[in-house]
Structure 1
């Protein structure tokens, strides 16, 4: 069994909704401001000119950096592989103040994060915020518990 999930799913959805508007506005600024020279130069900046390139690039990089694959051998986040034989995995719940909450879920008080510890010395290797839906958190918990029982 293998579970593939993006740990920043809510962020990707949020910015995917905004991306078309940013890209269209960026193309408009490039054509109207720089090529046709109809708008003032103070509106011309890197993001306003090349948002149609930068925004999709940021979405792709966000997906690649937060891609998580839970397989029978271990958990792979991005390019790093954490085998079940060497690392312990848990999902910890934390409570955040309103000013510290992410933009994608402002009214939610409790947030989950994936904690990876090295078994040999109990050192915390990674604390990764789970910006996913509740159903995805349950799927991650189930996949981790099934594979943890296999290795114990």
Structure 2
């Protein structure tokens, strides 16, 4: 079973909803405020002037860095492949206080994270927050179980 999934799906969805407003506002501020001097430019900063470039770039980079492919060989996150023969994969739940919760799901108390440990040493290599929906977490669990060498 091959599974391709973005580990930051909720974050990408949240920011893709507000990105058009930031992009339009920054482009308007740059053209009308700075270039044409028709309206006052209240804030001159990275997002107020170049948000129409930076915001889509941040969305693309977030997608690329959090793209996960679970295949027969192992789990690939971004460009790094973690083979099943060398690493152990588990999904752990953690409880976060309100001040540490992400904007995408403030009212949720328990959060899932993907934990990758090296089999030889038991060292934790990666702890990756799963900002995905519950159905996606179930799909990840199924893919991890069906692709491990013990289940083949």
The TM-score normalised by the length of structure 2 is: 0.96
**1:45, CA displacement in angstroms?**
2.1
Map of 1:112 onto structure 2: 112
Map of 2:135 onto structure 1: 135
**1:148, CA displacement in angstroms?**
1.5
**1:151, CA displacement in angstroms?**
6.4
Matches within 5 A, 1:2-151: 2-150=2-150
Determine if contact 2:27/2:52 at 8 Å carries over to the other structure.
yes
Determine if contact 1:85/1:151 at 8 Å carries over to the other structure.
no
Q: Distance in 1 between matches of 2:130 and 2:3?
A: 15
Cα-Cα RMSD? 1.3
Q: Distance in 1 between matches of 2:46 and 2:141?
A: 42
Q: Distance in 1 between matches of 2:32 and 2:141?
A: 51
Q: Distance in 1 between matches of 2:96 and 2:46?
A: 34
Q: Distance in 2 between matches of 1:123 and 1:25?
A: 46
Query: Structure 2 stretches of 5 or more lacking a match?
Result: none
Structure 1 residues 55 and 6, CA gap change in structure 2 (3 angstroms): same
Determine if contact 2:92/2:115 at 8 Å carries over to the other structure.
yes
SS at match of 2:120: coil
Q: Which runs of 4+ in 1 moved over 4 A?
A: 149-152
Structure 1 residues 100 and 91, CA gap change in structure 2 (3 angstroms): same
The TM-score normalised by the length of structure 1 is: 0.96
Report the count of equivalent residues.
152
